[in-house]
Amino acid sequence: MVSGILVCEAGCILENLGTFLDNQGFVVPLDLGAKGSCQIGGNVSTNAGGLHFIRYGSLHGSILGLEVVLANGTVLDMLGTLRKDNTGYDLKHLFIGSEGSLGVVTKVSLLAPPKLSSVHLAFLACKDYFSCQKLLLEAKRKLGETLSAFEFLDSNSMDLVLNHLEGVRNPLPPSLHNFYVLIETRGSDESYDREKLEAFLLRSMEADYISDGAIAQDINQASSFWRIREGIAEALMKAGAVYKYDLSLPVDKMYNLVEEMRSRLGQSANVVGYGHLGDGNLHLNISTSQYSNAILAKIEPFVYEWTSKHRGSISAEHGLGLMKADKIHYSKSPQTVQLMSSIKKLLDPNGILNPYKVLPPSLLPC
């Protein structure tokens, strides 16, 4: 395989695709915690993001073609394998992220990046959110093309993980820092990339963006750093009831929402913020001992209004589905939603594809 273009059926499990590509020296441009069970067709229909979005971009860029079955049974062959094709309207983009509401994805043609052998991971502590932002800016400039992940988590997230997950230890003992950042680089030259990362981190420490940090010396250590970031969702589940919000916001405003939510809820809940800082994507989670309407009333619609006011997305990567379909107006104008509804009626006049999802019920066919 020279081109790095993978053509496969929608039911292939992401991890298996990864193993197949690995043998040939390529990687899937997508990495999720659920890779052991999720299927590529689903990833396409939900426009899954993942940890390496900052490096490989959206599926809108990596997908070269699709085969889709329409509501009327037509098998639409758009399974191109070309990097450039400006012939007509690029319809595959309608289906990517449409959550199966416009058609069922049956085959995928995916551009797989070459596997780069030198991977480095650093776990860093920052004293405040401003430092995290400066670090991100510097990382994009100084690590440039080798930057492959930039994640953040606050001290409440770290505290949850240390308390609720087995076999997890604080990489930067003894105390809890206010913020933690994970920076990953992927390149082709082990020594050069490591020196570049070390030089960057040294300068960042001198500039006081970082107060402490550790670099993983082997894959096992790297996995234990990732376990902390990837384990937050699991720790939240174990801690009790959780209200989850997945938002896109301007990076400089992002943590303000976490702090405002904290002061709104006071002692009644543990507000936790983490996410893909490099993509401007916040995972805001509110952890309580039990679900309560009183708490929900303090969270919604405040969180959506706040996001809307900052022209953010009320669903950065998780989609709208059933629960957020009626909230679409917080992030999309009425005219835009109206056009979406027309397209839905055109492609699925009888409303058989994933009914009641994505668009508000009033605008759906039938």
Partner 1 sequence: MTMKIMVAVKRVVDYAVKIRVKSDKSGVDTSNVKMSMNPFCEIALEEALRIKESGLASEVVAVSMGPAQCIDTLRTGLAMGADRAIHVDYSATLYPLSVAKLLKALVDVEKPGLLILGKQAIDDDCNQTGQMVAGLLNWPQGTFASKVVLDKEKKVATVDREVDGGLETLSLDLPAVITTDLRLNQPRYAKLPNIMKAKSKKIEKFTVQDLKVEIKSDLEIVQVTEPPKRKAGINVSSVDELIDKLKNEAHVI
Positions touching partner 1 (CB under 8 A) are 22, 117, 119, 123, 169, 171-172, 190-191, 198, 201-202, 205, 210, 212-221, 223
Residue number, 220 or 333, with CB nearest to partner 1: 220
Give SS3 for 257: helix
Q: Which is nearer to partner 1, 211 or 354 (CB)?
A: 211
Q: Residue 69 or residue 214: which is nearer to partner 1 going by CB?
A: 214
Q: Distance of alpha carbon 217 from its chain centroid, rounded?
A: 26
- Minimum CB separation of residue 25 from partner 1 in Å reads 9
- The DSSP secondary structure of 23-90, one letter per residue, reads HTTB--S---TTTTT-BHHHHHHTT---TTHHHH--HHHHEEEEEEE-TTS-EEEE----S---SS--
Rounded least distance, CB 100 to partner 1, Å:
34
C-alpha to C-alpha distances, 117 to 25, 56, 111, 112, 193, nearest whole angstrom: 9, 16, 19, 15, 11
Our CA angle for 298, 300, 306, nearest 5°, is: 100
- Name every residue whose Cβ is closer than 8 Å to that of residue 352 and which is 6 or more positions away in sequence: 71
d(CA 330, CA 300): 12
Tokens of 46: 């939900």
- Cβ contact 188:116 at 8 Å: yes
Cα distance between residue 328 and residue 248, in whole Å: 14
Nearest distance from C-beta of residue 118 to partner 1, angstroms: 8
Of 145 and 218, CB closest to partner 1 = 218
CB 229, min distance to partner 1, A: 15
CB of 174 vs partner 1, minimal distance in Å? 12
Least CB distance from residue 212 to partner 1, whole Å?
A: 7
**Least gap, CB of 83 to partner 1 (angstroms):** 26
For partner 1, which is the closer residue by CB, 119 or 147? Answer: 119
Partner residues linked to 65 by β-bridges: 109
> Closer CB to partner 1, residue 200 or residue 306?
200
Nearer to partner 1 among residue 216 and residue 251 (C-beta): 216
Residue identified by tokens 């301007």 is: 250
List, in sequence order, every residue forming a beta bridge with 243; answer none if it has no partner.
Answer: 286
State the nearest-atom distance from the C-beta of 221 to partner 1, in Å: 6
The answer to whether 159 and 232 are in contact (CB under 8 A) is no
Minimum CB distance to partner 1 smaller for 176 or for 337: 176
